[in-house]
Amino acid sequence: MPRVICAGHVNWDVTLYVDRLPEPDGEAVIEAQTGAGGGSAANVACGLARLDVPVALLGSVGEDDHGAAARAELIDAGVDCGTIQTVPDGETAVKYLAVSAAGEVMVFGRDGVNEAFTAGHLPESTLASAEHVHLTSQRPNTAARLADRAREAGATVSFDPGRRLDERDFSGALARADVVFLNDREAATALGDALDSENRTLVLKHGPRGAEVRTGTRTYTHPGFAVETVDTTGAGDAFAAGFIASLLRGDGCEEALALANACGALAARTRGARTPLDWDGVSELLSR
Protein backbone atom coordinates (compact mmCIF):
# COMPACT_ATOMS: atom_id res chain seq x y z
CA MET A 1 0.00 0.00 0.00
CA PRO A 2 1.24 3.53 -0.74
CA ARG A 3 2.98 5.74 1.81
CA VAL A 4 2.43 8.73 -0.48
CA ILE A 5 -0.43 9.67 -2.80
CA CYS A 6 0.28 12.18 -5.57
CA ALA A 7 -2.69 13.93 -7.15
CA GLY A 8 -2.73 16.09 -10.26
CA HIS A 9 -1.86 16.08 -13.93
CA VAL A 10 -0.88 13.08 -16.01
CA ASN A 11 0.24 14.29 -19.44
CA TRP A 12 2.04 13.18 -22.57
CA ASP A 13 5.03 15.39 -23.37
CA VAL A 14 6.25 16.06 -26.90
CA THR A 15 9.67 17.67 -26.47
CA LEU A 16 11.58 19.53 -29.15
CA TYR A 17 15.26 20.11 -28.42
CA VAL A 18 16.23 23.30 -30.25
CA ASP A 19 19.39 25.31 -30.68
CA ARG A 20 17.74 28.28 -28.97
CA LEU A 21 14.34 29.61 -27.93
CA PRO A 22 13.33 32.02 -30.71
CA GLU A 23 12.07 35.54 -30.25
CA PRO A 24 8.58 36.38 -31.60
CA ASP A 25 8.58 35.94 -35.38
CA GLY A 26 11.91 34.13 -35.08
CA GLU A 27 12.94 30.58 -35.91
CA ALA A 28 14.97 27.84 -34.24
CA VAL A 29 16.51 24.59 -35.44
CA ILE A 30 15.06 21.33 -34.06
CA GLU A 31 17.96 19.06 -33.15
CA ALA A 32 15.94 16.18 -31.66
CA GLN A 33 12.37 15.24 -30.75
CA THR A 34 11.01 12.85 -28.10
CA GLY A 35 7.65 11.70 -26.74
CA ALA A 36 7.24 10.55 -23.13
CA GLY A 37 4.98 10.76 -20.10
CA GLY A 38 4.82 14.00 -18.14
CA GLY A 39 2.68 16.00 -15.75
CA SER A 40 3.86 17.28 -12.38
CA ALA A 41 2.00 14.77 -10.21
CA ALA A 42 3.12 11.89 -12.42
CA ASN A 43 6.72 13.13 -12.39
CA VAL A 44 6.84 13.37 -8.60
CA ALA A 45 5.25 9.93 -8.27
CA CYS A 46 7.93 8.44 -10.54
CA GLY A 47 10.66 10.17 -8.56
CA LEU A 48 9.35 8.80 -5.28
CA ALA A 49 9.03 5.29 -6.70
CA ARG A 50 12.65 5.43 -7.90
CA LEU A 51 13.63 6.48 -4.36
CA ASP A 52 11.92 3.35 -3.00
CA VAL A 53 8.86 5.15 -1.59
CA PRO A 54 5.60 3.25 -2.25
CA VAL A 55 3.40 5.71 -4.12
CA ALA A 56 -0.02 5.85 -5.78
CA LEU A 57 -1.15 8.39 -8.36
CA LEU A 58 -4.59 10.01 -8.62
CA GLY A 59 -5.16 11.58 -12.02
CA SER A 60 -6.95 11.06 -15.33
CA VAL A 61 -6.05 10.20 -18.91
CA GLY A 62 -7.99 9.72 -22.10
CA GLU A 63 -8.94 6.49 -23.77
CA ASP A 64 -6.24 6.91 -26.40
CA ASP A 65 -2.71 5.84 -27.29
CA HIS A 66 -1.11 8.63 -25.29
CA GLY A 67 -3.07 7.63 -22.19
CA ALA A 68 -2.12 3.97 -22.56
CA ALA A 69 1.54 4.87 -23.06
CA ALA A 70 1.57 7.24 -20.07
CA ARG A 71 0.03 4.58 -17.83
CA ALA A 72 2.49 1.92 -19.05
CA GLU A 73 5.48 4.17 -18.28
CA LEU A 74 4.18 4.84 -14.78
CA ILE A 75 3.62 1.16 -14.05
CA ASP A 76 7.10 0.38 -15.33
CA ALA A 77 8.50 2.99 -12.90
CA GLY A 78 6.77 1.27 -9.98
CA VAL A 79 3.87 3.67 -9.47
CA ASP A 80 0.52 2.27 -8.28
CA CYS A 81 -1.86 3.36 -11.07
CA GLY A 82 -5.05 1.87 -9.64
CA THR A 83 -6.50 5.32 -8.99
CA ILE A 84 -5.77 6.78 -12.44
CA GLN A 85 -9.11 7.36 -14.16
CA THR A 86 -9.53 6.61 -17.87
CA VAL A 87 -12.12 8.85 -19.54
CA PRO A 88 -14.01 7.09 -22.36
CA ASP A 89 -13.54 8.89 -25.67
CA GLY A 90 -11.43 11.50 -23.88
CA GLU A 91 -8.08 12.88 -25.01
CA THR A 92 -5.01 12.70 -22.80
CA ALA A 93 -3.47 16.10 -22.12
CA VAL A 94 -0.50 16.85 -24.35
CA LYS A 95 2.24 19.35 -23.55
CA TYR A 96 4.58 20.58 -26.26
CA LEU A 97 7.93 21.65 -24.86
CA ALA A 98 10.80 23.48 -26.53
CA VAL A 99 14.11 23.04 -24.73
CA SER A 100 17.11 25.17 -25.70
CA ALA A 101 20.75 24.11 -25.70
CA ALA A 102 21.10 26.04 -22.42
CA GLY A 103 18.34 23.95 -20.81
CA GLU A 104 15.70 26.69 -20.85
CA VAL A 105 12.13 25.49 -21.38
CA MET A 106 9.06 26.89 -23.14
CA VAL A 107 5.73 25.03 -22.73
CA PHE A 108 2.57 24.93 -24.86
CA GLY A 109 -0.34 22.91 -23.52
CA ARG A 110 -3.57 21.22 -24.57
CA ASP A 111 -5.30 20.22 -21.34
CA GLY A 112 -7.43 17.31 -22.49
CA VAL A 113 -8.96 15.36 -19.59
CA ASN A 114 -6.16 15.73 -17.04
CA GLU A 115 -8.55 17.36 -14.56
CA ALA A 116 -11.45 14.94 -14.99
CA PHE A 117 -10.66 13.12 -11.73
CA THR A 118 -12.32 14.17 -8.48
CA ALA A 119 -11.50 13.81 -4.79
CA GLY A 120 -14.15 11.09 -4.65
CA HIS A 121 -12.07 8.89 -6.95
CA LEU A 122 -9.59 8.30 -4.12
CA PRO A 123 -10.77 5.24 -2.14
CA GLU A 124 -10.77 5.42 1.66
CA SER A 125 -8.75 2.21 1.79
CA THR A 126 -5.94 3.75 -0.28
CA LEU A 127 -5.95 6.98 1.70
CA ALA A 128 -5.89 5.10 5.00
CA SER A 129 -2.45 3.66 4.25
CA ALA A 130 -0.88 6.97 3.26
CA GLU A 131 1.34 9.09 5.47
CA HIS A 132 1.50 11.96 3.02
CA VAL A 133 -0.53 13.44 0.14
CA HIS A 134 1.21 15.60 -2.45
CA LEU A 135 -1.00 17.90 -4.53
CA THR A 136 -0.03 19.59 -7.77
CA SER A 137 -1.93 21.78 -10.23
CA GLN A 138 -5.57 20.66 -10.61
CA ARG A 139 -9.05 22.08 -10.08
CA PRO A 140 -8.92 24.23 -6.90
CA ASN A 141 -12.01 22.61 -5.36
CA THR A 142 -10.57 19.14 -5.94
CA ALA A 143 -7.27 20.12 -4.32
CA ALA A 144 -9.01 21.63 -1.29
CA ARG A 145 -11.22 18.57 -0.81
CA LEU A 146 -8.28 16.18 -1.14
CA ALA A 147 -6.37 18.21 1.44
CA ASP A 148 -9.36 17.99 3.79
CA ARG A 149 -9.62 14.23 3.34
CA ALA A 150 -5.90 13.78 3.88
CA ARG A 151 -5.92 15.74 7.13
CA GLU A 152 -8.99 13.85 8.34
CA ALA A 153 -7.10 10.61 7.69
CA GLY A 154 -4.06 11.84 9.63
CA ALA A 155 -1.79 12.35 6.61
CA THR A 156 0.39 15.40 6.05
CA VAL A 157 -0.14 17.48 2.90
CA SER A 158 2.18 19.24 0.48
CA PHE A 159 1.12 21.45 -2.41
CA ASP A 160 3.00 22.61 -5.50
CA PRO A 161 0.46 24.77 -7.38
CA GLY A 162 2.70 25.33 -10.42
CA ARG A 163 2.55 27.87 -13.21
CA ARG A 164 -1.18 28.67 -12.85
CA LEU A 165 -0.99 29.93 -9.28
CA ASP A 166 -1.74 33.48 -10.40
CA GLU A 167 -4.75 32.38 -12.48
CA ARG A 168 -6.64 30.14 -10.04
CA ASP A 169 -7.92 30.50 -6.48
CA PHE A 170 -5.92 27.87 -4.61
CA SER A 171 -6.47 29.54 -1.23
CA GLY A 172 -8.39 26.54 0.11
CA ALA A 173 -5.63 24.02 -0.59
CA LEU A 174 -2.91 26.45 0.51
CA ALA A 175 -4.62 26.98 3.85
CA ARG A 176 -4.64 23.24 4.49
CA ALA A 177 -1.11 22.41 3.30
CA ASP A 178 1.70 21.58 5.70
CA VAL A 179 4.35 22.17 3.02
CA VAL A 180 4.13 24.57 0.06
CA PHE A 181 6.59 24.47 -2.87
CA LEU A 182 7.06 27.63 -4.98
CA ASN A 183 9.66 28.76 -7.49
CA ASP A 184 10.75 32.39 -7.73
CA ARG A 185 8.18 33.36 -10.37
CA GLU A 186 5.35 31.74 -8.43
CA ALA A 187 6.47 33.32 -5.16
CA ALA A 188 6.43 36.76 -6.82
CA THR A 189 2.74 36.36 -7.69
CA ALA A 190 1.62 34.25 -4.72
CA LEU A 191 -1.12 35.20 -2.31
CA GLY A 192 0.03 36.42 1.08
CA ASP A 193 -1.26 33.26 2.74
CA ALA A 194 0.89 31.11 0.45
CA LEU A 195 4.01 32.86 1.74
CA ASP A 196 3.01 32.49 5.39
CA SER A 197 5.56 30.24 7.06
CA GLU A 198 4.12 30.60 10.55
CA ASN A 199 1.69 27.72 10.08
CA ARG A 200 3.45 25.71 7.39
CA THR A 201 6.81 24.90 5.86
CA LEU A 202 7.53 27.07 2.84
CA VAL A 203 10.01 25.71 0.31
CA LEU A 204 11.33 28.26 -2.20
CA LYS A 205 13.10 26.90 -5.28
CA HIS A 206 15.68 29.26 -6.78
CA GLY A 207 16.79 27.08 -9.71
CA PRO A 208 20.58 27.16 -10.20
CA ARG A 209 20.89 29.34 -7.07
CA GLY A 210 19.67 26.52 -4.83
CA ALA A 211 16.68 26.75 -2.51
CA GLU A 212 15.54 27.70 0.95
CA VAL A 213 13.11 26.45 3.56
CA ARG A 214 11.22 28.77 5.89
CA THR A 215 9.43 27.55 8.98
CA GLY A 216 7.81 29.50 11.77
CA THR A 217 11.12 29.76 13.61
CA ARG A 218 13.98 29.01 11.20
CA THR A 219 15.22 29.62 7.68
CA TYR A 220 17.48 27.08 6.00
CA THR A 221 19.37 27.71 2.76
CA HIS A 222 21.34 25.51 0.38
CA PRO A 223 23.29 26.79 -2.65
CA GLY A 224 22.48 23.80 -4.85
CA PHE A 225 24.95 21.74 -6.86
CA ALA A 226 26.98 22.94 -9.82
CA VAL A 227 26.08 20.71 -12.77
CA GLU A 228 25.97 21.22 -16.51
CA THR A 229 22.33 22.09 -17.23
CA VAL A 230 20.90 20.15 -20.14
CA ASP A 231 17.13 20.27 -19.54
CA THR A 232 15.29 21.83 -16.59
CA THR A 233 12.01 20.08 -17.45
CA GLY A 234 10.85 18.21 -14.35
CA ALA A 235 13.71 19.46 -12.15
CA GLY A 236 11.24 21.02 -9.73
CA ASP A 237 9.28 17.78 -9.57
CA ALA A 238 12.45 15.80 -8.85
CA PHE A 239 13.24 18.35 -6.14
CA ALA A 240 9.82 17.83 -4.54
CA ALA A 241 10.19 14.04 -4.68
CA GLY A 242 13.54 14.27 -2.92
CA PHE A 243 12.23 16.61 -0.24
CA ILE A 244 9.24 14.39 0.52
CA ALA A 245 11.32 11.20 0.51
CA SER A 246 13.77 12.77 2.92
CA LEU A 247 11.07 13.90 5.34
CA LEU A 248 9.52 10.43 5.28
CA ARG A 249 12.77 8.83 6.34
CA GLY A 250 12.92 11.17 9.33
CA ASP A 251 15.34 13.86 8.11
CA GLY A 252 15.05 17.44 9.25
CA CYS A 253 14.50 20.42 6.96
CA GLU A 254 18.22 21.04 6.45
CA GLU A 255 18.89 17.48 5.31
CA ALA A 256 15.72 17.41 3.20
CA LEU A 257 16.74 20.63 1.43
CA ALA A 258 20.15 19.26 0.49
CA LEU A 259 18.69 15.99 -0.75
CA ALA A 260 16.01 17.81 -2.75
CA ASN A 261 18.63 20.01 -4.41
CA ALA A 262 20.62 16.91 -5.33
CA CYS A 263 17.55 15.38 -7.00
CA GLY A 264 16.83 18.61 -8.87
CA ALA A 265 20.43 18.78 -10.08
CA LEU A 266 20.31 15.19 -11.30
CA ALA A 267 17.20 16.06 -13.30
CA ALA A 268 18.67 19.26 -14.75
CA ARG A 269 21.76 17.52 -16.12
CA THR A 270 19.80 14.95 -18.15
CA ARG A 271 17.12 15.18 -20.83
CA GLY A 272 13.47 14.53 -20.10
CA ALA A 273 10.98 15.22 -17.34
CA ARG A 274 11.63 12.00 -15.45
CA THR A 275 15.22 11.40 -14.53
CA PRO A 276 15.57 7.88 -13.06
CA LEU A 277 16.51 9.03 -9.57
CA ASP A 278 18.45 6.63 -7.37
CA TRP A 279 20.09 6.82 -3.97
CA ASP A 280 23.58 6.20 -5.37
CA GLY A 281 23.39 9.25 -7.62
CA VAL A 282 21.94 11.37 -4.82
CA SER A 283 24.64 10.22 -2.39
CA GLU A 284 27.38 11.03 -4.91
CA LEU A 285 26.23 14.64 -5.17
CA LEU A 286 25.71 14.98 -1.41
CA SER A 287 29.25 13.79 -0.76
CA ARG A 288 30.75 16.71 -2.72
Which active-site residues does the annotation give?
A: 237
Would you give the distance in Å from CA 107 to the centre of its chain?
15
Q: Which residues contact 168 (CB under 8 A, 6 or more apart)?
A: 140, 161
Instruction: Give the pairing of strands 201-205 and 179-183.
Output: parallel
> Torsion angle, CA of 260/77/248/9, rounded to 10 degrees?
70
Q: Which residues contact 154 (CB under 8 A, 6 or more apart)?
A: none
Give the dihedral sign, CA 166/179/38/91: negative
Q: Cβ atoms within 10 A of the Cβ of 226, count?
A: 10
Strands (E), the chain: 4-7, 11-18, 30-38, 55-62, 84-87, 93-99, 105-110, 132-136, 156-160, 179-183, 201-205, 211-214, 219-222
- Partner residues linked to 243 by β-bridges: none
User: Cα–Cα–Cα angle for 251, 269, 161, nearest 5°?
Assistant: 60
Alpha carbon distance 184, 9 (integer Å): 22
Q: Which residues contact 152 (CB under 8 A, 6 or more apart)?
A: none
Give me Rg for the CA atoms of the chain.
18
